[in-house]
């Protein structure tokens, strides 16, 4: 069986988790602090704040921009439902706009058309690790005085060229960037998330929010020779990461360069194996973007049925997934009147499939996937 994805974990991560357990400090503590420092240094952000997952990261990022009831946040329907749900957590309304079918990312012209006086923020997704058109979206956000949050759940290690310089996603351009360490992403801590920002006041607020706005963290009280009484400054949350997760995350960060190099090689090989097939559209990497290839998504020819192709591949021991979901087609959003055309989003969901890609994937397996797909398409 060739799986769709596979986390890259071995004794290194197991030992790190074991050490954290035996240290006696297992909730948010020294490992979380070290993971944050290393993550911030890696992506080139002044601040990185670890949280329990990317959904909670998105929630806090939106709160940090004062998104609340009555506000609109423009985002893609064509994304994991967490993007839309985080907007609803704030009592705000997600305004879904269509994607550019070449990149599966927000079409800046559609975003421009959707801005109203109620728009508080743009939540821009780097879908499947492919950077979205941040340059255009930032220009729009700045022109209208609204905030931009990056949903970089899938985009750790992806790069974007802005103003002639290649930056890793997470180096602050908009207000905040949110990452996920779910096992389906390029590096994992089981569950986990990270927020990066250049604004130290915002970073301080995130750190309060994630532990019930307690003004003196337990790590500080634990190490103090004096008795300290803490206060709770406002209504916060428990969005903490554990030290076991952070210890695993630090080891995963060390693997990141190799994981990305391997994924880039696999993506390039898929493009060779599947190139020049009439009607099959391979992923497009704009010249200003370098994907981490969290997923490799192909658009099937219109003449074939997505489910049939997927089932036939599964029967041959090859797992695939359909194109990214559309939130507006799911129960929580189905009753929303959609203001904007979402045709490209729906076509992408219905006519694309994700092929297996993971760092340990061997050449033979990749050739098997490509052959099986070619034969499904009649080539």
Ligand X SMILES: *Cc1c(COP(=O)(O)O)cnc(C)c1O
CB of 28 to ligand X, least distance (A): 17
Q: Which residue, 124 or 318, is less far from ligand X as judged by CB? A: 124
Determine the number of helices (DSSP H) and then strands (DSSP E) in the chain: 13, 15
* 242 is a contact residue toward ligand X (CB under 6 A): no
* 76 is a contact residue toward ligand X (CB under 6 A): no
Site string for ligand X, 164-203 (x = CB under 6 A): ----------------x-x----------x----------
* 80 is a contact residue toward ligand X (CB under 6 A): yes
Residue 263: count of CB within 10 angstroms of its CB: 23
Please say whether the beta carbons of 81 and 327 come within 8 A: yes
Can you read off the two tokens belonging to residue 133? Answer: 């058109």
* 82 is a contact residue toward ligand X (CB under 6 A): yes
Q: Which residue, 86 or 197, is less far from ligand X as judged by CB? A: 86
* 255 is a contact residue toward ligand X (CB under 6 A): no
- Of the candidates 328, 324, 333, 263, the residue with the CA atom closest to the CA atom of residue 293: 263
CB of 182 to ligand X, least distance (A): 4
Strands 193-197 vs 47-51: parallel, antiparallel or unpaired: antiparallel
CB of 253 to ligand X, least distance (A): 16
Binding region for ligand X (CB under 6 A) out of 10-18, 48-56, 130-138, 370-378: 48-56
Binding region for ligand X (CB under 6 A) out of 50-58, 140-148, 200-208, 273-281: 50-58
Q: Rounded CA gap, 311 and 115, in Å?
A: 41
CB of 325 to ligand X, least distance (A): 10
Please say whether the beta carbons of 250 and 42 come within 8 A: no
Binding region for ligand X (CB under 6 A) out of 132-140, 148-156, 252-260, 299-307: 148-156
What torsion, rounded to 10 degrees, do the Cα atoms 261, 267, 270, 272 define?
-80
Which residue in 31, 75, 77, 83 binds ligand X (CB under 6 A)? 83
Q: Rounded CA gap, 265 and 243, in Å?
A: 33
Give the full edge-to-edge strand order of the sheet including 159-162. 165-168, 159-162, 289-290
Q: Which residue, 99 or 372, is less far from ligand X as judged by CB? A: 99
* 53 is a contact residue toward ligand X (CB under 6 A): yes
Q: Rounded CA gap, 114 and 358, in Å?
A: 37
Burial class of 285 by CB neighbour count within 10 A (0 to 12, 13 to 18, 19+):
middle
* 131 is a contact residue toward ligand X (CB under 6 A): no
Residues near ligand X (CB under 6 A) are: 53-55, 79-80, 82-83, 125, 151, 153-154, 180, 182, 193
């Amino acid at each position: 069986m060739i799986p769709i994805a596979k986390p890259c974990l071995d004794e290194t991560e197991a030992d790190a988790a074991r050490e954290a357990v035996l240290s006696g400090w297992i909730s948010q503590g020294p490992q979380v602090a070290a993971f944050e420092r290393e993550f911030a240094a890696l992506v080139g952000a002044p601040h990185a704040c670890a949280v329990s997952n990317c959904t909670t990261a998105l929630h806090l990022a939106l709160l940090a921009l004062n998104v609340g009831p009555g506000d609109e946040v423009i985002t893609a329907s064509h994304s994991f439902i967490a993007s839309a749900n985080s907007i609803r957590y704030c009592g705000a309304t997600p305004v879904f706009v269509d994607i550019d079918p070449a990149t599966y990312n927000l079409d800046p012209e559609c975003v421009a058309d959707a801005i109203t006086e109620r728009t508080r923020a743009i939540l821009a997704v780097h879908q499947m690790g492919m950077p979205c058109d941040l340059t255009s979206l930032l220009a729009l956000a700045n022109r209208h005085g609204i905030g931009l949050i990056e949903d970089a759940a899938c985009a750790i290690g992806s790069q974007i060229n802005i103003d002639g310089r290649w930056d890793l996603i997470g180096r602050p351009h908009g207000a905040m960037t949110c990452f996920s360490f779910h096992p389906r992403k390029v590096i994992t801590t089981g569950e986990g998330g990270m927020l990066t920002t250049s604004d130290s006041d915002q970073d301080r607020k995130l750190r309060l929010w994630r532990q019930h706005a307690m003004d003196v963290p337990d790590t500080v009280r634990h190490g103090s020779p004096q008795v300290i009484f803490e206060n709770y400054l406002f209504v916060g949350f428990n969005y903490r990461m554990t030290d076991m997760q952070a210890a695993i995350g630090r080891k995963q960060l060390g693997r990141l360069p190799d994981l990305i190099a391997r994924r880039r090689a696999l993506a390039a090989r898929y493009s060779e194996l599947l190139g020049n097939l009439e009607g099959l559209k391979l992923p497009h990497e704009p010249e200003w973007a370098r994907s981490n290839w969290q997923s490799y998504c192909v658009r099937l020819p219109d003449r074939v049925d997505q489910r049939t192709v997927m089932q036939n591949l599964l029967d041959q021991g090859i797992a695939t997934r359909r194109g990214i979901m559309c939130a507006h087609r799911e129960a929580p959003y189905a009753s929303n009147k959609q203001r904007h055309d979402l045709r490209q989003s729906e076509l992408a969901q219905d006519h694309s499939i994700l092929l297996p890609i993971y760092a340990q994937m061997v050449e033979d397996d990749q050739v098997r996937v490509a052959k099986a797909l070619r034969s499904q398409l009649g080539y």
